[in-house]
DNA sequence: GTCTATAATTCGATAGAC
DNA sequence: GTCTATCGAATTATAGAC
């Protein structure tokens, strides 16, 4: 049992920072609270990350990367087909990945969920720092929606996709207080939520 | 042009506080920034409101009161009828008031919208302070929905109404960057948004 | 009621020893 | 890489004169 490697130290800082940013927000989280929870030295944060804002961006990247990756992967599969995908298929490709990532890996999953909600809801400078990490997939999905629903203007579709994101974030945030991911099969639960959400939204999008 | 009356002082503090809370959040807003913008003394805030949290509650009450009042009023009208109201009628009674209040009174309206978003999204202690002021109407609307849609469990309906609130808040927040409330008739614009939102949601709720 | 002055903390960031 | 010590600035809140 030697001392912590630098990889451990970095990860401990990221874990503690994500949990505190998620529950208390960016402005409400002090670096001193982070080092207390991560059991590291205050200077270590500045050594590894440089500043509070850069630490936050590092946390955002760690959370967003697997979600955006899966979304684009599923979208690519849909685009490989010769037929245009349905609205429901597109929505499922957009909605399922964040729910999967959050539900598949407790105990960090619920924290990821709460943290994502903060990224979308918090004031300057949080949105400025977080939005670029999620923007790629959102732009690609908006593009395919304009192809599938040419009768609706891009402005209208952007408006609706924005509502989808708002609902998705809300679902993610209230999942920790839902009694799921306890004993039941995660896969089953995810499919259930995704299905209900897709039904809820598909008609509204297409209307 | 005498000095400010105490009513003016209080109102200037509330106006400045609401604008800053809305754009920078609770933790991101300092009382010194408030007094700078309101052009009053720092001690005046503590004299009139006691503390930063109590000032925030005062702002919440001022915003929530007219909205909740109108929602309950419209709901009471629906309940007076002999027939059960439709889902669309209920949703309209829930959605229209906040949009009306926000759009009817510029230039404070957009600030109200942004502030309401913060109340729903910010971490402790904001939600704890804000939720009670909006809870009354939400509880009453959930109750009437369980009457109109007895096939769905209260849990399911609470889940869906929560999504409606999430969408509504998102709409409110992006309204300031929408090009509305410029010259066009506000009434016309409100009816347009409400109609589109009700269509979007009604099917999802009923499904 | 309004003001100045200040107490008492807490913050992010850095310098420099080891 | 990790630590202690500390700087400079900002915060909420209060005491007390007018």
Return all residues near B69 (Cβ < 8 A) that are at least 6 apart: none
Closest A-chain CA to B164: A167
Would you state the pLDDT for residue A2? 40
Would you state the pLDDT for residue B178? 61
Contact B28 A27 (CB under 8 A): yes
Q: Which residues of chain B have pLDDT under 70?
A: 1-5, 176-185
Contact B124 A24 (CB under 8 A): yes
Q: Which residues of chain A have pLDDT under 70?
A: 1-5, 176-185
Distance B43 CA to C3 C1' (A): 8
Residue recorded with tokens 């913008």 = B37
Would you state the pLDDT for residue A1? 41
**How far is Cα A189 from Cα A168, in angstroms, rounded to an integer?**
15
Nearest nucleotide to the CA of B52, by C1', is: D12
Number of H helices, E strands in chain A: 9, 0
Q: Measured between CB atoms, does A117 come within 8 Å of chain B?
A: yes
Q: Which nucleotides of D are covered by protein (CB under 7 A)?
A: 1-6, 10-16
Contact B207 A203 (CB under 8 A): yes
Contact B166 A162 (CB under 8 A): no
Burial of A66 (0-12, 13-18, 19+ CB in 10 A): middle
* Chain pair A-B, CB pairs under 8 angstroms: 74
Distance A51 CA to C12 C1' (A): 8
CA separation (Å) from B117 to B61, B68, B149? 15, 15, 28
Q: How do residues A53-108 score in pLDDT, each as one tens digit?
A: 999 999 999 999 999 999 999 999 999 999 999 999 999 999 999 999 988 887 89
CA separation (Å) from B31 to A187, B47, B53? 48, 13, 11
Would you state the pLDDT for residue B159? 85
Closest by Cβ to A28, choosing from B23, B27, B170: B27
List chain B domain ranges: 62-206
Region of residue A149 (phi > 0: left; psi between -120 and 50: alpha; otherwise: beta): beta
CATH topology for B62-206 is Tetracycline Repressor; domain 2 (1.10.357)
CATH topology for A57-206 is Tetracycline Repressor; domain 2 (1.10.357)
Would you state the pLDDT for residue B88? 94
Would you state the pLDDT for residue B112? 95
Reported residue count of chain B is 207
Q: Look at residues A49, A52, A142 and name the one whose alpha carbon lies nearest to residue A91.
A: A142
Closest by Cβ to B170, choosing from A25, A163, A174: A163
Would you state the pLDDT for residue B2? 40
Would you state the pLDDT for residue A173? 82
Distance in Å, alpha carbon of A3 to nearest chain B alpha carbon: 35
Structure tokens at B169: 């808040």
Q: Measured between CB atoms, does A122 come within 8 Å of chain B?
A: yes
CA neighbours closer than 13 Å in the CB half-sphere of residue A4: 13
Rg, C-alpha atoms of chain A: 19
């Amino acid at each position: 049992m030697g001392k912590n490697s630098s990889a451990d130290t970095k990860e401990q800082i990221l874990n503690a920072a994500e949990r505190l940013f998620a529950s208390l927000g960016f402005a409400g989280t002090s670096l001193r609270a982070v080092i207390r929870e991560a059991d590291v030295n205050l200077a270590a944060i500045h050594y590894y990350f440089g500043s509070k804002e850069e630490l936050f961006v590092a946390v955002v990247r760690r959370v967003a990367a697997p979600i955006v990756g899966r979304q684009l992967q599923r979208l690519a599969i849909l685009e490989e087909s010769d037929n245009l995908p349905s609205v429901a298929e597109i929505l499922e490709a957009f909605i399922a990945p964040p729910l999967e990532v959050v539900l598949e890996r407790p105990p960090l999953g619920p924290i990821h969920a709460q943290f994502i909600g903060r990224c979308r809801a918090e004031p300057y400078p949080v949105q400025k720092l977080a939005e670029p990490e999620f923007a790629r997939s959102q732009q690609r999905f908006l593009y395919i929606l304009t192809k599938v629903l040419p009768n609706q203007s891009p402005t209208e579709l952007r408006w609706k996709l924005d509502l989808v994101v708002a609902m998705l974030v809300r679902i993610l945030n209230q999942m920790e207080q839902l009694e799921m991911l306890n004993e039941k099969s995660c896969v089953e639960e995810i499919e259930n939520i995704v299905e209900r959400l897709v039904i809820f939204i598909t008609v509204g999008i297409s209307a």
